[in-house]
Amino acid sequence: MKVHGVFLVAVFFYLAYTQMVNGQPHKDCQTSCGKVTIEYPFGTSPDCHYADDPSFKLTCNDKEKLLFGRDFEVINISHSGELRVWNNVSYACYDSQGNLKDWQYNSYTQANLSLSRNNKFTAVGCNALGLLMTYGTRNHSAVCLSTCDSPPVANGECNGEGCCSTDVSVPFDSYEFQTLPVRVTNMTSVYDFNPCIYAFLAENGTFHFDASEDIKNLPNVTTFPLVLDWSIGNQTCNEVGNASVCGMNNSTCFDSARGTGYNCKCLEGFEGNPYLSNKHGCKDINECTTNSTIYKHNCSDPSTCRNKVGGFDCKCKSGYRLDTTNMSCKRKDFGWATILLGKLPSVLVEQPLSILLAVSCVRQKMKHRKNSQLRQKFFVQNGGGLLVQRLSGGETSNSNIKIFTEEGMKTATNGYDQSRILGQGGQGTVYKGILPDNSIVAIKKDRLGDNSQVEQFINEVLVLSQINHRNVVKLLGCCLETEVPLLVYEFINSGTLFDHLHGSFSSLSLTWEHRLRIALEIAGTLAYLHSSASIPIIHRDVKTANILLDENLTAKVADFGASRLIPMDKEQLTTMVQGTLGYLDPEYYNTGLLNEKSDVYSFGVVLMELLSGQKALCFERPQYSKHLVSYFASAIKENRVYEVIDEKVMTEDNKMEIKEVARIAVECTRLMGEERPKMKEVAAELEGLRVTKDKHHWSAQYPEETEHLVGVEIISAQGGSSTTDYDSIKNVATLHIEAGR
């Protein structure tokens, strides 16, 4: 019996320990204090809050106020990583002689939480200096100055007259802050209307300056809401892996905005506490209920809405079909056929010709109905309902994306006529299309794909439709009524970079200036996709055939059929290997792990093509030069790089530039991804070369003016002291130029 007793006790403690490790508080935990709900990972006792961090401990005092630490009264807790608390106003009051008579300077400790960037620091008063000081691993301060010598009249505007404010941007590891108002001049002339000055931190939008009241009576308002950011631990989602406290299948992890740790959120179609398991945490939202105000269905008739786990469907009753343009049910049009068949016996004898005509009409109508049903099936199968829901739900700021019909696409391509084919590749066929307004577009018809990736495809359409970059081919819309989706892009009329280097346009030689600019445009675009797009995008098929050139030879990156969106909580994805031989990253090929360095490798190959004028992979070349990458690498190593450079572009003046670009190309194609530079770094180096080239060109044209530029020197990219910051959105570079010695 003793053995069994010890075993039961051990099991009890194991279950209790497992419960806490998996993010489950004790069942008897306090769930509210006054009017404030207490939700895990916060709690009022060690068994109830996240065990690894005491900063999640709250206190419910005898006045039923929920306190965080000793300084803050809690207003509410947000699952997304925000804690709203009440924050006191600091003030200093003076007598008619200008002497300080009453004051309150507030200092707060926020433990392991951070001041959110959703706050503003504000000072109110005439000739008042507001000072915000934060203390931590790195100290930080912010100030704003408010001046006036008479009562301000600008109500609602905190513009520096009687009121000033500034955004809060402090290091995440600051654990204490202090607000302080200081009168910058001893002006007794403002005493009658402004005896006191104030300084405080408040959540954005919670303070509205009223010049007639606040200058004199702000002490009547003693507190403002303040936002603190919280997160779990100090590891990213990728680093913490399966040890995350996020719940089971209905929630996911995302990296905290405060710069350290992570938070949890429910998946789309679910709501609740994502830090708890399925039973207590994220639960399915019934979008079809009338009391669901935030998550609504878009069925025009509420009675057709049918809830499903993580979403909903609009189900029409028998004899009706769903019209996806407005999500309404419409009667299937076949009643007239029943009437006709009812009268058929008498008509058979009297009018045989009419019978043949009627039969033909019935067959035509049935065929049309079958085609309509098939289009409807494909529309739903390809995620049409989801796309309509996303567009109508305000999830995208771009309302210009258009959903085209299959009939419209057939007309635009003249029935997908062979003469309209612009190009064919591994991802599908591209047709030239002419829309009813006579505008010319490129229509891409994908090969048969995986229907299980519908939501990912819709997300890609939404994200790509919002890319506003001068060197990315613009996505105009899509057609979902075909077996595989069609994508409609702007039409670029001067062929591909491949055509200009190796194909039908190769007789029109690209100069070195053209090639360097095109390389910079491609690099800047990839840097934008990797670093500045709303969701990072890996192109996955960068090659000269996917770089279009317009009439000005401006590069346009195209063909995102193989592209992948990278979730914010991941740095790489495991995917089925896709790409083009000769451009394919060998590390990605061997491991299946896709990251931004795979695009860097492919870009390096494109750079080698621009330099050499030779194809990336050519079996007609000698054995040692079949693969351009190995050919280039050996030429660089043996100091004979000029042997592989296109003789059309090399001159004595550009030899050093070409050698630098060749070095960059070899660095981009290193075997290990971690040894390759990032695209932002590559773009900066290329821009540095181009700026240096322009500077030398200008100096040669205007030598007298150059002599007068005493004290300023731009050092070349081969080894100087200037640095270049590349802004991939604006496609420009800013030089930081050091003074010459």
| Alpha-carbon gap, residue 629 to 607, rounded angstroms | 10
Residue 5 has pLDDT above 60, yes or no: no
Same-domain check for residues 515 and 466: no
Q: Are 549 and 558 in contact (CB under 8 A)?
A: no
What tokens were used for 45? 């006792």
Question: Does residue 424 sit in the same domain as residue 509?
Answer: no
**Integer Cα distance of 451 and 446 in angstroms:** 12
Query: Per-residue confidence at 555, pLDDT binned at 50, 70, 90?
Result: very high
CA-nearest of 360, 358, 498, 356 to 422 is 498
Residue 121 lies in a domain: yes
- Structure confidence at residue 460 (pLDDT): 65
What mean pLDDT is predicted for residues 89-109? 86
Going through 435-500 in order, the beta strands assigned E by DSSP cover 440-446, 475-479, 486-490
Q: Which two tokens stand for residue 611?
A: 């330099």
671 Cβ partners below 8 Å, 6+ apart? 586, 587
Query: What's the confidence (pLDDT) of residue 463?
Result: 67
Angle in degrees, 0-180, between the axes of helices 596-612 and 628-637, rounded to the nearest 10: 70
Average pLDDT in the 172-192 region? 80
Of the three residues 465, 490, 515, the one that is the final residue of a domain is 490
610-642 residues labelled b (16+ CB within 10 A) or e (exposed): bbbbbbbbeeeeeeebebbbebbbebbeeeebe
Instruction: Mark whether 534 and 445 lie in a shared domain.
Output: no
In terms of domains, do 546 and 695 share one?
yes
Look at residues 490, 506, 524 and tell me which one is the last residue of a structural domain: 490
* Alpha-carbon gap, residue 385 to 363, rounded angstroms: 30
Question: To the nearest whole number, what is the mean pLDDT of the chain?
Answer: 77
User: Which of 564, 534, 570 minimizes the C-alpha distance to 237?
Assistant: 570
Instruction: Decide: helix, strand or coil at residue 66.
Output: strand
The answer to the question of residue 93 being in a domain is: yes
For residue range 42-84, list pLDDT tens digits in order: 998 888 888 767 788 899 988 889 998 877 899 999 888 899 9
Residue 693: predicted pLDDT: 62
For residue 404, what is the domain's CATH number? 3.30.200.20
Confidence of residue 578 (pLDDT cuts 50, 70, 90): low
Indicate whether 276 pLDDT > 80. yes
Residue 641: band (very low, low, confident or very high) from pLDDT cuts 50, 70, 90: confident
- Taking the CB of residue 405, how many other CB atoms lie within 10 A of it? 15
CB-based contacts of 502, cutoff 8 Å, min separation 6: 544, 613, 615
Angle at 225 between CA 224 and CA 226, to 5 degrees: 115
Is 450 tagged catalytic? no
Q: What span, in angstroms and rounded, lies between the C-alpha atoms of 526 and 680?
A: 8
Residue 378 makes CB contacts below 8 A (sequence gap 6+) with: 480, 481, 482, 483
pLDDT at residue 515, rounded to an integer: 94
Residue 713 has pLDDT above 60, yes or no: no
Residue 518, pLDDT > 90, answer yes
More confident residue, 21 or 30: 30
Domain-located, residue 59: no
As given in the structure block, the two tokens for residue 404 are 């085209």
Asked if pLDDT for residue 636 goes beyond 70, the answer is yes
Alpha-carbon distance 119 to 691, whole Å? 40
**What does the H/E/C string look like for 536-547?**
CEECCCCCHHHE
State how beta strands 402-404 and 475-479 pair.
parallel
pLDDT tier, 369 (very low <50, low <70, confident <90, very high otherwise): confident
| Pairing between β-strand 475-479 and β-strand 486-490 as defined by DSSP bridges | antiparallel
Instruction: Return phi, psi of residue 508, to 5°.
Output: -85, 90
Residue (of 227, 203, 201, 228) closest to 113 by Cα position:
228
Between CA 600 and CA 596 the distance in angstroms is 7
> Is 43 part of a structural domain of the chain?
no
Domain that holds residue 591: 497-736
| Residue 572 in this model has a pLDDT that exceeds 90 | no
- Asked if residue 508 has pLDDT above 50, the reply is yes
Residue ranges of the alpha helices (H) in 577-627?
A: 586-591, 596-612
Greatest mean pLDDT among 243-247, 578-582, 583-587 lies in 583-587
Please give the average per-residue pLDDT across 572-593, as a whole number: 73
User: Do 595 and 706 reside in the same domain of the chain?
Assistant: yes
Residue type at 166?
T
CB 235 within 8 A of CB 568: no
Q: Are residues 131 and 194 in the same domain?
A: yes
At residue 595, the pLDDT reads: 85
Q: 85 phi and psi, to 5 degrees?
A: -135, 165
Residue 316 CA to residue 307 CA, distance in Å, equals 14
DSSP element (H, E) containing 691: helix 679-701
In a domain, 359, yes or no: no
- In this structure, the answer to whether residues 638 and 730 fall within a common structural domain is yes
Q: What is the pLDDT of residues 243-262, one digit of tens each?
A: 888 866 688 888 887 778 89
Which range is most confident: 304-313, 357-366, 644-653? 644-653
Where does the pLDDT of residue 28 fall: very low under 50, low under 70, confident under 90, or very high at 90 and above? confident
* Whole-angstrom distance, CA of residue 102 vs CA of residue 534: 50
pLDDT band of 435, cuts 50, 70, 90? very high
Same-domain status, 507 and 542: yes
Structure tokens belonging to residue 447: 């090969």
580: nearest Cα among 539, 622, 525: 539
pLDDT in tens, 335-366: 445 545 555 555 555 566 666 776 777 777 77
Task: Residue 693: name the closest of 717, 659, 721 by CA.
Answer: 717
Catalytic residue among 541, 585, 599, 646: 541
Residue 451: its pLDDT value, please?
55
Give the domain-ending residue among 457, 490, 523: 490
Write down the pLDDT at residue 2: 41
Spatial contact of 166 and 121, defined as CB atoms under 8 Å apart: yes
Q: Which tens digit of pLDDT belongs to each residue from 443-490?
A: 988 765 555 556 656 766 776 776 778 898 888 888 888 888 888 988
Using alpha carbons, select from 55, 88, 83 the residue that is nearest to residue 69: 55
Give pTM, 2 decimals: 0.47
Q: Cβ atoms within 10 A of the Cβ of 79, count?
A: 20
What's the Cα-to-Cα distance from 158 to each of 118, 120, 131, 146, 196, rounded to whole Å? Answer: 17, 11, 16, 9, 17
State whether 547 and 434 are in the same domain: no
Backbone angles phi, psi at 100, to 5 degrees: -70, 125
What total of structural domains would you count in the chain?
Answer: 3
- Decide if pLDDT at 737 tops 90: no
Q: Are residues 589 and 710 in the same domain?
A: yes
